[in-house]
Amino acid sequence: MPNTRGRVLAFAFFLAVVTYLDRICISAAAPAIMDDLHLDMLQMSVVFSAFTLAYSLFEVPSGWLGDVKGPRSVLTRIVLWWSAFTMLTGAAAGYQSLKVIRFLFGAGEAGAFPNVARSFSRWFPARERGRANGVLFLGSRLGGMLSAPIALLLIARWGWRASFVAFGTLGIVWAAAWWTWYRDRPEDHAAMTTEELSWIQQDGPPPPNRATPWRALLSGRNLYAICAMYFAFGYGLYFYFTWLPTYLIKELGFSQFSGGLFAALPFLLAGLADLGGGLLTDRLSRDYGLRVGRCYLGAAAFACGAAFLLASTLTAAPVAKAVLIACALASADLALGACWAVPIDIAPNHAGVITGCMNTLGNLGGLVGPLVVGYAVQELGSWTLPFYVTAGVYAFGAVMWLAIDPAKELATEQFASSSPVQTHRPVR
């Protein structure tokens, strides 16, 4: 992807890498934190969920702010805030302070991906949005893949506190570069050419900013189906962010080194699936229409994720379990480009708000998931039950994919006249 929008995509890619490095390093550090601060499984589950709760609460306000003010200033604030609280995690003195710090970390990081979606709605035509989201989430999975082994290495060498300081510095560098280079409107960028601007606006010029049509948005079925679908995705995803290293090392008996490698495997496979899924959703949408390219692809991906998780409970071999669990994340991630393209398809001028609503529910799923695991392991003595529950949640998500109509714009009566994108036809 050449020219200026390729650099926008590079910024988004590295943002995703840093986001997930900072978010997931605590899962690798969890055993050391629990030993140092004398936390049990349920307390650590609450710490994990404190981030997710705050992230969920502030997603829509931060996404809305990006729609109003633009991603340049909003993303700069977001990244500086979360970087500061990543560093402060290393200063936690006990359970209460760790909860507060992680809550504030989540509040700061909220809105990062909705603001990227808002940026994509201005910088990429419809035919490139699935691909752009695929590259974005390839970055997130690369960050997730690198986080566990790097964190374990840093912890072994300097302790868990220093690892958070090291991870937090990366975001500060990104924020400075983003503020200096990025512009909210492609036509305002000094490097923009007439040819590239014409390509970006091939679906028509972007609609003017208008007040968010909350009443119309909340009255449509599409929004609720999208949010329910992403709840299922987030529920499954957060196991990999939180308990996977502990499961691999303490339950399956892997060493720190091999556990770190198997904790990275799901993110490696998922990153490849993100890239392939982004290309696939655009290709299928172009050839067969948005319903096939977004919804049928999404339903199949979620259903296969459920099947992989169920298969993992049927084998006793630790390596086979680890590989099947990794394949489950990759399968769900095959739909991730479609997940984030659908809100732009149906509401291009309100992408920050719609993706904020979607990601709020996704992170509420992520809030519940670690608590279910913590309760099942500590109170019921079972690591298997959470996989049954997650498989059922993925199956529910597959059904919700089929309830989405990506060809129907939300709040059409309030902004259709200003939005020339024809989402009811295959993307050309």
279 domain residue, yes or no: yes
Do the beta carbons of residue 160 and residue 44 sit within 8 Å?
Answer: no
Do the beta carbons of residue 313 and residue 170 sit within 8 Å?
Answer: no
Nearest 5°: the CA angle 268, 273, 277 is 155
Q: Which pLDDT belongs to residue 72? A: 93
404 domain residue, yes or no: yes
One-letter amino acid of 271: G
For the chain, the maximum distance between any two Cα atoms, rounded to a whole number of angstroms, is 63
Burial 375-390 (b: 16+ CB within 10 A, else e): bbbeeeeebebbbebb
180 domain residue, yes or no: yes
427 domain residue, yes or no: no
DSSP helix/strand/coil, 395: helix
Do the beta carbons of residue 30 and residue 85 sit within 8 Å?
Answer: no
274 vs 330: CA distance, rounded Å: 8
86 vs 3: CA distance, rounded Å: 33
24 domain residue, yes or no: yes
Q: Which pLDDT belongs to residue 292? A: 93
Helices (H), 182-296: 194-200, 214-219, 221-242, 244-246, 256-288, 290
Please count the structural domains in the chain: 1
CATH for 139: 1.20.1250.20
215 domain residue, yes or no: no
200 domain residue, yes or no: no
Q: Which residues, given as ranges, of the chain have pLDDT below 70? A: 1-2, 206-214, 216-217, 348-349, 351, 409-428
178 domain residue, yes or no: yes
In terms of residue numbers, what domain contains 234? Answer: 3-186+220-410
pLDDT tens for each residue of 44-75: 888 888 887 888 888 888 877 888 888 999 99
393 vs 236: CA distance, rounded Å: 8
Q: What share of the chain is helix, strand, coil (3-state, %, to 5)?
A: 85, 0, 15
51 vs 92: CA distance, rounded Å: 14
H helix or E strand, kind and range, residue 295: none
Q: Which pLDDT belongs to residue 410? A: 56
